[in-house]
Amino acid sequence: MFGPINDVLDAIAVNTCFEEKCRAKGCLKACLTFEIVFMLHFMCTILAITNELNTTFQRKEQDIANAMILVGVSKNRLQVLRDNGWNSLIDEVSKFCTKYDLLTPNFDELYVILGRSRWRIAKYTILHHYRVEVFYKIIDWQLQELNNRFDEVTIDLFLGIACLNLVESFSSFEMEKILKLAELYPDDFDKHSMVDLHSQLENYIIDVRDHDKRFSNLKGLSYFSKKLVEAKKHRTYPLLFRLVKFALLLPVTTATVEKTLSAMKLIKSDL
């Protein structure tokens, strides 16, 4: 769309009122710079790496186990891009600039900081600016964000919840991961409760998977929770039921925080 966008901006800059001409000329001038072309290609690469992860978390029915795998995939691909992706990115940007007759800078020259006078130049080269200050820094920000959001505790939490899910006849059931999930709630599961939970899990999986056909073909954890109550098995497996309730509360807690932050944006101002 780069060519058509520039054609439209060029037409606006010629055939419209003065204010729109000025805005269109400013946008057109920005579009025809190496910096904009570089950032467009670079961010397209970054977003392509994290696209599947983002899409997975936006689905109503989340496959948490695969989502955690995609977290690792995104981290690995970002690291590979950081280590080996610079030359291919620059080649791609240079070909694009050649196609549209855009000026490619001399990377050995000193970088001129935007908004400063020509004689107030930076103490590093253009190559250093794009490779270190932009390329490395943005990838490091992405990796840091993924590490902060998906640390070891969070991953254990998500994987434990995934193991509670009864999709495909409890194929994802793993007792060790569920017990590790319970360990994240020490106020509710002390060492004695953990022993009881282990015993309940052993009975529960044989009960609902092999004997009680009422628990087949349920769509998710919320349906499973309702079915436990309807079958009065929440009394038989009280510790398991408590863990299921904690798992169901997590999305609500996350949504509440996000809604609060969104509400804060509405009352924020420059002042």
Lowest mean pLDDT among 38-42, 72-76, 144-148, 176-180: 176-180
Tell me the average pLDDT across 113-140.
82
pLDDT band at 260 (very low <50, low <70, confident <90, very high): low
Same domain, yes or no: 140 and 54: yes
Whether 180 contacts 156, CB under 8 Å: yes
Same domain, yes or no: 191 and 249: yes
Cα–Cα nearest to 128, from 106, 143, 144:
106
Whether 44 contacts 70, CB under 8 Å: no
Q: For residue 110, what are the β-bridge partners?
A: 125
Same domain, yes or no: 64 and 124: yes
Question: In this structure, is the dihedral angle defined by the CA atoms of residues 25, 31, 35 and 36, taken in order, positive or negative?
Answer: positive
Same domain, yes or no: 186 and 260: yes
> Domain tally for the chain?
3
pTM of the full structure: 0.66
Say if residue 127's pLDDT is above 90: yes
User: Three-state DSSP class for 116?
Assistant: coil
Q: Which is higher by pLDDT, 50 or 114?
A: 50
Tell me the average pLDDT across 9-24.
83
Same domain, yes or no: 182 and 100: no
Cα–Cα nearest to 204, from 237, 173, 176:
237
Give the model confidence (pLDDT) of 131-153 as tens digits: 999 999 999 999 999 888 888 77
Domain that holds residue 116: 34-149
**159 within domain boundaries:** no
Say if residue 265's pLDDT is above 70: no
d(Cα 103, Cα 34) in Å, to the nearest integer?
7
Task: Please report, rounded to a whole number, the percentage of residues in the chain having pLDDT higher than 70.
Answer: 82
Tell me the average pLDDT across 223-227.
81
Q: Read out DSSP for 51-82?
A: HHHHHHHHSSS--HHHHHHHHHHHHHHHHHHH
**156 within domain boundaries:** no
